[in-house]
């Protein structure tokens, strides 16, 4: 499913060269629920960006579903993000001017799914996260937990190969965080591959396998 | 996809109504001034041209500066009128005198001429008669006055049959001209009195010989031939072309056309500049909008928006701003023209002027606005489309 071999990524921050990923390798099989855990500045976000095809590695190779990502054009990467990856962010990243349903619909619009089909899949996704009665609400009219559930619904609406969550419970209180975690567990049980990035050991412990990242190096767990 | 982009563009415009309106204002004012000014000039040209052709563009007027002791006589004019290209000929001399009736007086221009003059100048009689052949043969003291003179000296009464004193000589009024606010009326001036040429020669000192005369071409195709004949005739008589001048109404029409074209271009240019300024306003606000929505762009890109999707979203927004502005501008122009026409109808001066929106300029305005929306939307839209998703997502 995901195969990262010997990937390096360096940033130049002012005069300092930051080695965000230092010969990192990672292998995730289909249907796994993997927690990537590490302190801030460890290279977690860089790893997430590369897995999510938002950024490119400087060296090494990354295969997603057996496809090498390195040589794709920007538009092809946009298509891969659109079809294969469902993002869930710490701060939800919903579009404030759109309703819950419209937010969920957006990736389907970019996929050029027909209107009737779109409406069906939005309804399914909303039902899956239990927010059917909130579909016409705008993000500001929803609680944090509800907003994150809308984000999850947006991520699963396209039936992606991979759900990629970056600190999904980071902005939520422990009770709603628990709700979201249970949602991820359920989604994984239904066969979705989930990669969850966190600094919280307790959250990581809920996943099927924990991968530790420190100073840009990955220690794969079992 | 396109429908979605449209929906998003209008959503963005409506969510910031005041800002969108102020941005559009540049385009609104630009389109408004372009359409109204050019429509005004076009209509004015049309109405002036109509009045020129009403006088008859087949009219030629001849002025002789020095007659070198060989003055044109009535017999010479008769000879000229024999030419196949010439229709009618009438001498015209003018003097400025004071007309008196009882205690009222008016400063008038006296035209000494013949009966043909009325036909050449297309003057209509409201009451009484024009000059006749025997008036000229017998040097009768008769006068045809215009409506202005009649109204000034004989308010509310018929002037026909009344006596009128011109510089102390008594003339009998035999006719009153129709009031004439057309272009030819303007050329002749108001307060005119027309008397037989022969009588004027005897009565007014300094009237002298025929210094100017009018002629019509036999038909409108003969104007150039008629002019050539007159030029040849007068050159043969005086030996040089410097002592006379022939004025052709066609030239007046052509000059008028040129002047109006220059005005059109000038006004159009000024309006185009304000449209350009409006375009810069759109670009400015689109750049602000792109920066404000960096995070939105990041989210859209993360969930799979291609460059072209982002590009078209912002381009359509810029285009919508300029085209909505254009539509408002055209609507406002239409309203202005409507109000102008209603006002003009009740005004004496402008009663013949009717302004219509020139379809050409409306099309030009729409094309121009489209071009401006695209041109000035391109840079901000491209800036948005080129953003890297991780940078855009990180933007606070």
Report the alpha-carbon distance of residue B117 to residue B90 in Å, rounded.
Answer: 5
The answer, yes or no, to whether residue B364 has pLDDT greater than 70, is yes
Identify the band that residue B285 occupies on the pLDDT scale cut at 50, 70 and 90: very high
Q: Under an 8 A CB cutoff, do A112 and B1 touch?
A: yes
The answer, yes or no, to whether residue B355 has pLDDT greater than 60, is yes
Identify the band that residue A212 occupies on the pLDDT scale cut at 50, 70 and 90: very high
Q: Calculate mean pLDDT across residues A36-50.
A: 89
Contacts of B296 in chain A (CB under 8 A): 95
pLDDT score for B1: 64
pLDDT tens-digit map of A92-141: 999 988 999 999 999 999 999 999 999 999 999 999 999 999 999 999 99
Strand partners, B143: B173
Mean pLDDT of chain B: 86
Judging by DSSP bridges, how do beta strands B59-64 and B212-217 pair with one another?
A: antiparallel
Q: Calculate mean pLDDT across residues B217-233.
A: 85
| DSSP code of residue B316 | H
pLDDT score for B375: 93
pLDDT tens-digit map of B33-82: 999 988 888 888 887 777 776 666 678 888 888 877 788 888 888 888 88
Shortest CA distance to A51 belongs to which of A191, A161, A153?
A161
Give residue for tokens 């412990």.
A205
pLDDT score for B61: 86
Q: Under an 8 A CB cutoff, do A78 and B306 touch?
A: yes
Report the alpha-carbon distance of residue A221 to residue A210 in Å, rounded.
Answer: 6
Count A/B contacts: CB-CB distance under 8 Å: 57
The answer, yes or no, to whether residue B184 has pLDDT greater than 60, is no
Most confident of A45-49, B138-142, B236-240, B379-383: B379-383
Shortest CA distance to A149 belongs to which of A190, A181, A180, A103?
A180
Q: Is B82 helix (H, G, I), strand (E, B) or coil?
A: helix
The answer, yes or no, to whether residue B220 has pLDDT greater than 80, is no
Report the alpha-carbon distance of residue A135 to residue A119 in Å, rounded.
Answer: 11
Least CA distance to B390: which residue of chain A?
A: A54
pLDDT score for A94: 94
Contacts of B309 in chain A (CB under 8 A): 110
Contacts of A162 in chain B (CB under 8 A): none
Q: How far is CA B150 from the centre of its chain?
A: 30
Angle between helix B249-292 and B17-55 (nearest 10) = 170
Q: Under an 8 A CB cutoff, do A81 and B302 touch?
A: yes
Contacts of A74 in chain B (CB under 8 A): 307
Q: Under an 8 A CB cutoff, do B302 and A93 touch?
A: yes
Asked whether the CA dihedral B248, B252, B257, B262 is positive or negative, the reply is: positive
Q: Under an 8 A CB cutoff, do A78 and B300 touch?
A: no
pLDDT score for B302: 93
- Residue of A81, A89, A94 with shortest CB distance to B304: A81
Q: Calculate mean pLDDT across residues A164-183.
A: 90
What are the structure tokens assigned to B63, written together? 């002025």
Identify the band that residue B10 occupies on the pLDDT scale cut at 50, 70 and 90: confident
Q: Check CB contact of B16 with chain A, cutoff 8 Å.
A: no
The answer, yes or no, to whether residue A162 has pLDDT greater than 60, is yes
The answer, yes or no, to whether residue B98 has pLDDT greater than 90, is no
Report the alpha-carbon distance of residue B196 to residue B218 in Å, rounded.
Answer: 24
Q: Check CB contact of B158 with chain A, cutoff 8 Å.
A: no
Q: Check CB contact of B304 with chain A, cutoff 8 Å.
A: yes
Identify the band that residue B21 occupies on the pLDDT scale cut at 50, 70 and 90: very high
Q: Calculate mean pLDDT across residues B126-134.
A: 87
% of chain B exceeding 90 in pLDDT: 29
Identify the band that residue B178 occupies on the pLDDT scale cut at 50, 70 and 90: confident
The answer, yes or no, to whether residue A80 has pLDDT greater than 70, is yes
Q: Calculate mean pLDDT across residues B241-259.
A: 82
The answer, yes or no, to whether residue A222 has pLDDT greater than 60, is no
For residues A87 and B236, the model is more confident at A87
Burial of A201 (0-12, 13-18, 19+ CB in 10 A): exposed
Q: Calculate mean pLDDT across residues B229-234.
A: 89
Q: Check CB contact of B300 with chain A, cutoff 8 Å.
A: yes
pLDDT score for B181: 58
Least CA distance to A95: which residue of chain B?
A: B296
pLDDT score for B189: 64
The answer, yes or no, to whether residue B345 has pLDDT greater than 70, is yes
Report the alpha-carbon distance of residue B109 to residue B189 in Å, rounded.
Answer: 8
Q: Calculate mean pLDDT across residues A199-221.
A: 87
Contacts of B299 in chain A (CB under 8 A): 93-95
What is the model's pTM?
Answer: 0.72
Q: Under an 8 A CB cutoff, do A110 and B307 touch?
A: no
User: Of A99-103, A193-197, B146-150, B352-356, which gets the smallest average pLDDT?
Assistant: B352-356
The answer, yes or no, to whether residue B384 has pLDDT greater than 60, is yes
Q: Under an 8 A CB cutoff, do B305 and A78 touch?
A: yes
pLDDT score for A139: 94
pLDDT score for B187: 58
Contacts of A93 in chain B (CB under 8 A): 295, 298-299, 302, 393
Report the alpha-carbon distance of residue A160 to residue A193 in Å, rounded.
Answer: 9
A100 in Cβ contact with A134 (< 8 Å): yes
Contacts of A153 in chain B (CB under 8 A): none
Q: Under an 8 A CB cutoff, do A110 and B305 touch?
A: yes
Nearest-neighbour CA in chain B from A222: distance (Å)? 30
Report the alpha-carbon distance of residue A79 to residue B46 in Å, rounded.
Answer: 60
Contacts of B396 in chain A (CB under 8 A): none
The answer, yes or no, to whether residue B162 has pLDDT greater than 90, is no
Most confident of A10-14, A111-115, B76-80, B115-119: A111-115
Q: Under an 8 A CB cutoff, do A79 and B306 touch?
A: yes
Report the alpha-carbon distance of residue B123 to residue B221 in Å, rounded.
Answer: 23
Report the alpha-carbon distance of residue B389 to residue B193 in Å, rounded.
Answer: 87
**Chain A residues touching chain B at CB-CB below 8 Å:** 49, 52, 54-55, 74-75, 78-79, 81-83, 87, 89, 93-95, 97, 106-107, 109-112, 154, 158
Strand partners, A5: A61
Q: Under an 8 A CB cutoff, do B390 and A55 touch?
A: yes
């Amino acid at each position: 499913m995901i195969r990262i071999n010997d990937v390096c990524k360096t940033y130049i921050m002012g005069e300092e060269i930051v080695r965000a990923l230092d010969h990192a390798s990672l292998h995730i099989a289909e249907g796994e629920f993997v927690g990537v855990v590490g302190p801030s500045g460890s290279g977690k976000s860089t790893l997430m960006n590369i897995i999510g095809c938002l950024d490119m590695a400087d060296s090494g190779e990354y295969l997603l579903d057996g496809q090498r990502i390195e040589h794709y054009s920007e538009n092809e990467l946009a298509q891969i993000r659109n079809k294969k990856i469902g993002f869930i962010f710490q701060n939800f990243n919903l579009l404030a001017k759109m309703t819950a349903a419209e937010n969920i619909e957006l990736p389907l619009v970019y996929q050029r799914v027909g209107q009737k089909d779109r409406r069906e899949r939005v309804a399914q996704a909303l039902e899956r996260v239990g927010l059917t009665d909130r579909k016409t609400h705008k993000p500001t009219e929803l609680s944090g937990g509800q907003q994150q559930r809308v984000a999850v619904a947006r991520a699963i609406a396209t039936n992606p190969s991979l759900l990629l969550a970056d600190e999904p419970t980071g902005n939520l209180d422990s009770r709603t965080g628990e709700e979201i975690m249970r949602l991820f567990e359920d989604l994984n049980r239904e066969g979705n591959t989930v990669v969850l990035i966190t600094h919280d050991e307790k959250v990581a412990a809920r996943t099927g396998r924990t991968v530790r990242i420190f100073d840009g190096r990955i220690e794969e767990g079992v | 996809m396109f429908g979605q982009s449209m929906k998003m563009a209008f959503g963005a415009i409506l969510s910031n109504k005041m800002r969108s309106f102020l941005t559009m204002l540049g385009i609104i004012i630009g389109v408004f001034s372009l359409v109204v000014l050019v429509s005004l000039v076009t209509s004015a040209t049309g109405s002036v041209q109509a009045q020129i052709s009403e006088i008859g563009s087949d009219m030629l007027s001849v002025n002789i500066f020095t007659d070198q002791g060989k003055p044109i006589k009535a017999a010479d004019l008769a000879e000229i009128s024999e030419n196949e290209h010439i229709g009618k000929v009438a001498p015209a001399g003018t003097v400025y005198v004071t007309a008196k009736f009882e205690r009222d007086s008016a400063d008038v221009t006296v035209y000494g001429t013949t009966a043909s003059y009325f036909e050449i100048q297309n003057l209509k009689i409201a009451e009484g008669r024009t000059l006749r052949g025997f008036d000229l043969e017998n040097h009768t003291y008769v006068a045809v006055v215009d409506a202005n003179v009649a109204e000034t000296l004989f308010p509310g009464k018929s002037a026909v049959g009344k006596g009128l004193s011109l510089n102390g000589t008594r003339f009998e009024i035999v006719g009153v001209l129709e009031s004439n606010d057309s272009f030819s009326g303007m050329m002749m001036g108001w307060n005119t009195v027309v008397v037989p040429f022969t009588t004027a020669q005897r009565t007014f000192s300094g009237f002298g010989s025929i210094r100017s005369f009018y002629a019509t071409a036999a038909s409108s195709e003969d104007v150039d031939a008629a002019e050539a004949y007159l030029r040849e005739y007068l050159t043969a008589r005086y030996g040089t072309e410097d002592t006379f001048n022939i004025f052709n109404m066609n030239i007046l029409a052509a000059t008028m056309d040129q002047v109006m074209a220059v005005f059109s271009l000038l006004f159009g240019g000024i309006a185009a500049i304000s449209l350009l300024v409006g375009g810069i306003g759109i670009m400015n606000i689109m750049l602000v909008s792109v920066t404000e929505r960096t995070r939105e762009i990041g989210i859209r890109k993360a969930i799979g928006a291609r460059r072209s999707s982002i590009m078209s979203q912002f381009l359509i927004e810029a285009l919508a701003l300029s085209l909505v502005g254009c539509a408002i501008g055209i609507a406002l122009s239409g309203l202005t023209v409507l109000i102008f026409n209603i006002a003009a109808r009740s005004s004496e001066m402008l009663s013949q002027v009717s302004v219509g929106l020139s379809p050409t300029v409306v099309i030009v305005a729409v094309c121009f606005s489209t071009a401006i929306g695209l041109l000035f939307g391109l840079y901000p839209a491209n800036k948005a489309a080129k953003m890297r998703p991780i940078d855009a997502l990180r933007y606070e």
